[in-house]
């Protein structure tokens, strides 16, 4: 069964600190891995997309890593800001019949950044 | 551009009532998707469409119907609502790029409660 597991479930850090979120997956076949940010009451917004041949991708203060051999990914947030408070969702992509991407979503890590 | 919009934002139904959720996108995307998000679970695909006039079942299609009469609109219908359909519903759309990425853009969500 295709699964995406994230840890920790929730995390509280002080503003300005760094943090790393983890993702393990068992999705097959694998096309790419994505990290999304979801603010409370909003839809998910893409942060990074990586294929199996890429092992790191950055988007500003967000850096994602991927180890396709161990089926693990991480999202590192540098110099956290209050606006980083959100749910971060790991998503693994396969292919839908007829086209499009079949996305398997993790349950997310709820991050809270405090003063 | 408004991106992906959803109507309504909130709705309360009684068991057995019917309703239609409307999704509209102004990005000329070919693919559109309906997801539901429940506490403690990742987003799950209900139905999707790879073009005007075509629809297909996703992971959890039972109790829902969809229609894509116009390229920019994707409707999700509940014929006889049940309490198990209480959820937050997200619509998404994506390009046909010929690559594997097909970035999905999400709407703001519709919070549905069935009593």
Rounded CA-CA distance B21/B91 in Å is 9
Interface of B with A in 5-34 (CB under 8 A): 30-31, 33
CB contact under 8 A, B42 and A101: no
* pLDDT tens track for B38-83: 998 999 999 999 899 999 999 999 999 999 999 999 999 999 999 9
Rounded CA-CA distance B53/B51 in Å is 6
Q: Which of A49, A95, A98 sits opposite B56 (nearest CB)?
A: A98
Rounded CA-CA distance B59/B32 in Å is 15
pLDDT at B98 over 70: no
Please tell me the predicted confidence (pLDDT) of residue B81: 96
Please tell me the predicted confidence (pLDDT) of residue A95: 72
CA atoms within 13 A on the CB side of B40: 0
For residue A24, the SS3 value is strand
Please tell me the predicted confidence (pLDDT) of residue B103: 82
Choice among A17-26, A55-64, A89-98, B43-52 with the minimum mean pLDDT: A89-98
pLDDT band at A33 (very low <50, low <70, confident <90, very high): very high
């Amino acid at each position: 069964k295709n699964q995406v597991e994230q840890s920790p479930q929730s995390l509280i850090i002080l503003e300005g600190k760094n943090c790393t979120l983890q993702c393990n997956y068992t999705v097959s076949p694998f096309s790419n891995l994505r990290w999304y940010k979801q603010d409370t009451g909003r839809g998910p917004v893409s942060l990074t997309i990586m294929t199996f041949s890429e092992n790191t991708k950055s988007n500003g203060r967000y850096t994602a890593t991927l180890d396709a051999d161990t089926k693990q990914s991480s999202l590192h947030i540098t110099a956290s800001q209050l606006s980083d408070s959100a749910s971060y969702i790991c998503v693994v992509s396969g292919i839908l019949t007829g086209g499009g991407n079949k996305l398997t979503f993790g349950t997310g890590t709820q991050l809270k950044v405090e003063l | 551009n408004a991106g992906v919009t959803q109507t309504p934002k909130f709705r309360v139904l009684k068991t057995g009532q019917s309703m239609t959720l409307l999704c509209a996108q102004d990005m000329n995307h070919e693919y559109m998707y309906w997801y539901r998000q429940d506490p403690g679970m990742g987003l799950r695909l209900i139905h999707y469409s790879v073009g005007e006039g075509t629809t297909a079942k996703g992971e959890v299609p039972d109790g829902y119907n969809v229609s894509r009469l116009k390229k920019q609109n994707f409707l999700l219908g509940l014929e006889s609502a049940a309490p198990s359909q209480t959820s937050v519903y997200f619509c998404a759309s994506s390009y046909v790029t010929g690559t594997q990425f097909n970035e999905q853009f999400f709407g703001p969500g519709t919070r549905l409660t069935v009593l």
